[in-house]
C-alpha cells in the first residue's frame, strides 16, 4: 500500500472520474513537421500508416479545445512512433519533461551532450530550465516505439537544464507500485533516480494481482491504463478502464485496482488543485 500525506485544504471535487480513450484527441501530423521523409509505402515493420500517432490527454499542438492541465500535470501524450522515424531537434524551456517507455527503444540526444537509448519500463527526465535542444524517437528501431511523455510545471522558472534516466530494471514494478518519479525536495526519495522540481510522484505497475493505493485528502492523481484492463474501486463505486483509458482521482480515497488478466498502469500523484482539470469529457464513476 502507498500512503501519501495530505498537503492543503483544497475542496474535494469528486472521487473517481473516467476519461475514456474515445474522448482523447488523436494527432497524426505530416512527417515533414518533425524533419522526417515521406511515410513508408509498404513496410511490414510499420503498425500504422502515418509515422506518428499520438493521443493527447490535454490541449497540445493543434489541439486547443481540451483541458489545459490536471494540477501541475500540463501534458500527457501517448505516442506511437514507427521505425526509422523521430522528432527532430527542437527546443524546450521551463518545463519538467518525463518520458515513460512502454514498448520498443527510445533514443535521446540533447545539446547538453546526453545521448542514450532506453527500452521498456525505462523513464527519462529533462529539466528544460533556461533552455535545451533535443531530439528523440525511433531512428534505428526495427519495430514501433510507444512511450508516454508527460510535462510537469516546475515550481520555479530559470532552472539549470538537467537530464537523467532510470532503466526498466532499476525499479521492480511487478505486482506492486514502483515509484519512478519523485520531487527533488523529498527526503524519502533518495532511491528514486528520476527527480523533478515539483511536488509530484509517478508510479508504474504491471500486475495480475489486486493493488491498493491510498490517496490522502488534499491530493489528486491521474492514472492511465497503459495496457490491459483494470477495475478501479473505492468503498462506494467502481469504474472499468481499458487500454488508453484514464481516470482522475481526488482524495481522500482508499483505492483497489483489480486487473483483468495482466494490466500496466502509470499514475501521477500531486497536490490537489481546486480547479480540477476542467475537462468536459470525463465521466463520474
Residue 1 is assigned to a structural domain of this protein: no
Residue 259 is assigned to a structural domain of this protein: yes
Residue 9 is assigned to a structural domain of this protein: no
Residue 187 is assigned to a structural domain of this protein: yes
Per-residue pLDDT of the chain (285 residues; tens, 9 = 90+): 444 433 444 444 558 999 999 999 999 999 999 999 999 999 999 999 999 999 999 999 999 999 999 999 999 999 999 999 999 989 999 999 999 999 999 999 999 999 999 999 999 999 999 999 999 999 988 999 999 999 999 999 999 999 999 999 998 999 999 999 999 999 999 999 999 999 999 999 999 999 999 999 999 999 999 999 999 999 888 999 999 999 999 999 999 999 999 999 999 999 998 666 666 677 765
Phi/psi region, residue 260 (left: phi>0; alpha: psi -120 to 50; beta: rest), is: beta
DSSP 8-state secondary structure symbol assigned to residue 189: -
The three cell numbers of residue 186 are 523529498
Task: Work out whether the CA dihedral 243, 221, 66, 231 comes out positive or negative.
Answer: positive
pTM value is: 0.93
CA distances from 18 to 230, 262, 274 (A): 12, 20, 18
Question: Which residue range is the domain that position 123 belongs to?
Answer: 16-284
Residue 280 is assigned to a structural domain of this protein: yes
Distance between CA atoms of residues 5 and 129, nearest Å: 28
Residue 5 is assigned to a structural domain of this protein: no
Q: How many CB atoms lie within 10 A of CB 91?
A: 10
pLDDT recorded at residue 282: 75
Coil, strand or helix: which one is 23?
helix
Q: What is the CATH number of the domain that holds 68?
A: 2.60.120.10
Number of domains in the chain: 1
Residue 156 is assigned to a structural domain of this protein: yes
Please write the tens of the pLDDT for every residue from 155-172.
Answer: 999 999 999 999 999 989
* Residue 226 and residue 265 in contact, taking contact as beta carbons nearer than 8 Å: yes
Distance between CA atoms of residues 146 and 148, nearest Å: 7
Residue 87 is assigned to a structural domain of this protein: yes
Amino acid at each position: 500500500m502507498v500512503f501519501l500525506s495530505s498537503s492543503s485544504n483544497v475542496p474535494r471535487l469528486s472521487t473517481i472520474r473516467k476519461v475514456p480513450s474515445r474522448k482523447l484527441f488523436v494527432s497524426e501530423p505530416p512527417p515533414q513537421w518533425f524533419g522526417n521523409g515521406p511515410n513508408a509505402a509498404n513496410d511490414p515493420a510499420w503498425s500504422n500508416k502515418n509515422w506518428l500517432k499520438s493521443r493527447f490527454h490535454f490541449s497540445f499542438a493543434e489541439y486547443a479545445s481540451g483541458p489545459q492541465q490536471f494540477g501541475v500535470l500540463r501534458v500527457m501524450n501517448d505516442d506511437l512512433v514507427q521505425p526509422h522515424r523521430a522528432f527532430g531537434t527542437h527546443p524546450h524551456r521551463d518545463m519538467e519533461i518525463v518520458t515513460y517507455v512502454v514498448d520498443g527503444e527510445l533514443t535521446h540526444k540533447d545539446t547538453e551532450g546526453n545521448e542514450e537509448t532506453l527500452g521498456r519500463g525505462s523513464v527519462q527526465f529533462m529539466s528544460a530550465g533556461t533552455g535545451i535542444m533535443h531530439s528523440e524517437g525511433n531512428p534505428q528501431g526495427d519495430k514501433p516505439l510507444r512511450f508516454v511523455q508527460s510535462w510537469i510545471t516546475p515550481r520555479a522558472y530559470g532552472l539549470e537544464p538537467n537530464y537523467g534516466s532510470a532503466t526498466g530494471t532499476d525499479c521492480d514494478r511487478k505486482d506492486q507500485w514502483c515509484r519512478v518519479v519523485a520531487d527533488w525536495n523529498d527526503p524519502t526519495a533518495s532511491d528514486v533516480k528520476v527527480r523533478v522540481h515539483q511536488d509530484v510522484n509517478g508510479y508504474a505497475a504491471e500486475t495480475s494481482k489486486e493493488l491498493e493505493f491510498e490517496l490522502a485528502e488534499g491530493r489528486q492523481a491521474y492514472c492511465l491504463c497503459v495496457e490491459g484492463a483494470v477495475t478501479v474501486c473505492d468503498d462506494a463505486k467502481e469504474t472499468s478502464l481499458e487500454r488508453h483509458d484514464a481516470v482522475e482521482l481526488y482524495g481522500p480515497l482508499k483505492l483497489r485496482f483489480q486487473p483483468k488478466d495482466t494490466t500496466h498502469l502509470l499514475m501521477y500523484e500531486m497536490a490537489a488543485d481546486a480547479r480540477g482539470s476542467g475537462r468536459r469529457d470525463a465521466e463520474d464513476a
